[in-house]
Amino acid sequence: MSFREKSAWAMVFILISAGAYYFNKVFAISQALGQTAPPIIGLVIFYVVMVVIASIVIMSIIAGASGKEANAPVDEREKVILDKAGHWSGYVLAIGVFTGMMNFGVTSDGNLLFHICFASLMVSQIAEYGFQILLFRRGV
Amino acid sequence: MAKRPPIGNRIRELREMHDQMSQAALAEAIGVTRQTVIAMEQGRYSPSLESAFRISRVFGVGVEDVFSWEEGQDN
């Protein structure tokens, strides 16, 4: 498995874990309030900081184990894979945001719109790394 | 499975003819990763024109001696 594929697997793991933690908190707060929790900026910042720290730690470990390969620039095939994965994940984000907007049009729940948009951002990031793994394995 | 490009190649054969050159050595010579060389050999990736020329120069042959158009797969 190449360094970039290992990195993609690591990012999928980090983002799913952090996303599960974030939405577990949001669901708990929503249940306690009896309505959709408002945007919790502190929790969003905590999520971002945790993702950044976990990425740095895990990527450092993977890079240390991968040696020279970790410092090599992206080659032509990898560039195509990264471009395609980024392109497809953009659709995931767009579908999620559009769904949130449609939901807002029906429910007028701005808090839910925030959570749907934030979830779409998380899912599109996970999808981007998922697409990278798929293309690394399947071919471009 | 992604549709395979209709381009065949003799990279593995030429590597073996050149003192069993490793995939890593060829990858370094043409400036790609070993995984990309593996993908080329398995027909899962068609290299850029620049890489195709680099490969042929490493083996000291023409591009058409390395790559060939596979009839019947281009429909």
To the nearest 10°, report the CA torsion of A57, A62, A68, A69.
-120
What is the enclosing helix (H) or strand (E) of B65?
A: helix B63-66
**Residue B57 forms contact with A (CB below 8 Å):** no
Per-residue pLDDT tens digits for A42-51 = 999 999 999 9
Beta-bridged to residue B39, according to DSSP, are none
Per-residue pLDDT tens digits for A21-44 = 999 999 999 999 999 999 999 999
**Minimum distance, in Å, between the CA of residue A77 and any CA atom of chain B:** 6
CA distance A75 to A18: 30
Taking CA–CA distances from B49, the nearest residue in chain A reads: A76
Q: Between A2, A77, A140, which is nearest B2 by CB?
A: A140
CA distance B4 to A139: 8
DSSP 8-state symbol, B8? E
Contact A77 B32 (CB under 8 A): yes
Q: A54 CB contacts (<8 Å, ≥6 apart)?
A: A14, A17, A18
Per-residue pLDDT tens digits for A72-102 = 889 999 999 999 999 999 999 999 999 999 9
Contact predicate A126/A16, CB 8 Å: yes
The pTM for the full model equals: 0.85
Beta-bridged to residue B66, according to DSSP, are none
**Residue B62 forms contact with A (CB below 8 Å):** no
Contact A136 B33 (CB under 8 A): no
ipTM: 0.81
Q: Between A78, A138, A139, which is nearest B33 by CB?
A: A78
What are the chain B neighbours of A136 within 8 Å (beta carbons)? Answer: 35
Per-residue pLDDT tens digits for A117-135 = 999 999 999 999 999 999 9
**Residue A49 forms contact with B (CB below 8 Å):** no
Per-residue pLDDT tens digits for B43-73 = 889 999 999 999 999 999 999 999 998 876 5
What is the number of other CB atoms lying within 10 angstroms of the CB of residue A89?
20
